[in-house]
Homo-oligomer: A and B are copies of this chain.
């Protein structure tokens, strides 16, 4: 807001710690949307069991945010300097991730409602597409500003990373289309994508 503050951008370290904070809070806030059920005549076991979509949605979103944290870290490991563009792209990414508890709650609430299940699953997928696009945008941004990267990082690797980073939005786009017709399948796919990114990326050899 003022000249005093103008040209002093936060360091990558500070930006990463702030991002870590937002991700840690978003991942922990997910539980707030799992509500204590009202035990009816069929008892608490039944009521708790009836809430299974909440647990599944909690697990899928927890794993998803966890993997985003790992990826966010991996990206910043290679960044030496930040500029305003990167700062606000990162803020957009955080806004998307911090938003995730909402579509997670919508999905948990409506997945068993035949009329609205596909809407809920589509909304979840759209949020993931937006988040994935911010990841892609950040890598594209870095690709055109090699002076922001650490000395050892090869531009060749960043170019390939930019291509590979499109996998996220594409996979989520396809799943979102699936969600229109088969919301349960989409829910399972959201979980599988997270597991794939967690396990799959392991098989790729280092650069």
Selected contact of A63 from candidates B43, B91, B113, B167, CB within 8 Å: B91
A120, B1: Cα distance in complex, Å: 25
**Cβ of A115: which chain B residues have Cβ within 8 Å of it?**
39, 43-44
Tell me the chain A residues, 51-90 only, with Cβ under 8 Å from chain B. Answer: 58-59, 62-63, 66-67, 69-75, 77-78, 84, 87-88
Interface residues on A, range: 35 or more
A30 in the interface, Cβ–Cβ < 8 Å?
A: yes
Contact code string A143-174 (vs B, CB < 8 Å = 1, else 0): 00000000000000110111011011000000
Contacts of A188 in B (CB 8 A): none
With beta carbons under 8 angstroms apart, the residue of B3, B70, B88, B139 that contacts A207 is B3
Residues 13-26 of A, flagged 1 when their CB comes within 8 A of B and 0 if not, give 01001101111111
User: What residues on B are CB-neighbors of A161 within 8 Å?
Assistant: 2-5
A125 within 8 A of B: no
Complex partner residue of A2 from B7, B119, B165, CB under 8 angstroms? B165
Apart from A6-B207, A34-B102: 10 A-B pairs, beta carbons within 8 A: A2-B71, A4-B165, A10-B73, A18-B24, A25-B25, A30-B98, A31-B101, A44-B106, A44-B116, A44-B120
